[in-house]
A and B are shown apart, each in its own frame.
Chain A
Amino acid sequence: DAGITQSPRYKITETGRQVTLMCHQTWSHSYMFWYRQDLGHGLRLIYYSAAADITDKGEVPDGYVVSRSKTENFPLTLESATRSQTSVYFCASSVVRLWDMGETQYFGPGTRLLVL
């Protein structure tokens, strides 16, 4: 099915472990994003990518690493998980437009991560 998927949907890990969250989209959108959602903070941008092999930091990048070797995949790695990284993580994608009114980013269903 076309769309944007995330895996796993739920993950429990321990402090200090490395964790990778996967994101896959079938639209060939050039832009992809990673957000975390926390109470009182809304959605905060972690990293984004404008195209394969082009990534940039967002608002809260510390402790995270991303890569984008293929247009359709944008994995997010927590190199050494901390309790403060317990959160819900959303991946999103969008297509470059000259500009028009309407929808911009399409979101995946989220990954709920608990770091013990």
Chain B
Amino acid sequence: DQQVKQNSPSLSVQEGRISILNCDYTNSMFDYFLWYKKYPAEGPTFLISISSIKDKNEDGRFTVFLNKSAKHLSLHIVPSQPGDSAVYFCAVTNFGNEKLTFGTGTRLTIIP
């Protein structure tokens, strides 16, 4: 029973345009949300996070939006660059809990 779902296994976006990656979770008790990025033959690396007391967090070209009522998380990348081509995982947890539950991942391809 998947608690965290990323319904798009892959996404292709033109360089310079906006990339939007989506993530849905089932348990409303989760209160801390993260995005990780993974290149081939490397481990995932942290990208950005947000707590449930916020609905938006920005870091440069990356913005994460949280819609608690819909139990939906999204990552916006603007503008998209070729180096953004990777697999993106969303992850959820609770404050004080070191365990993360990951989604299935979305492979983003930026087309030059």
Contact = CB atoms under 8 A, between A and B. Distances in A.
A107 B95 contact: no
A96 B102 CA distance: 19
Interface in A31-73: 31, 33, 35, 40-45, 48, 50, 58
The 3 closest A-B pairs by CB, nearest first: A107-B43, A103-B46, A42-B104
B4 to A, nearest CB: 8
Nearest to B5: A42
A96 B98 CA distance: 7
Given A41-B104, A43-B102, A45-B100, 13 more contacts: A33-B99, A45-B101, A48-B98, A50-B98, A90-B43, A99-B96, A101-B49, A103-B49, A104-B34, A107-B44, A109-B41, A109-B43, A110-B43
A107 B45 contact: yes
Contacts of B96: 99
A105 interface: yes
Contacts, number: 62
Give the bracket for the number of chain A residues in contact with chain B: 20 to 34
A58 to B, nearest CB: 7
A110 B9 CA distance: 21
Nearest to B103: A42
Contacts of B102: 35, 42-44
Contacts of B104: 40-42
A43 B43 CA distance: 11
Interface in B25-49: 34, 36, 41-46, 49
Nearest to B50: A101
Given A43-B89, A110-B43, A58 B105 contact: no
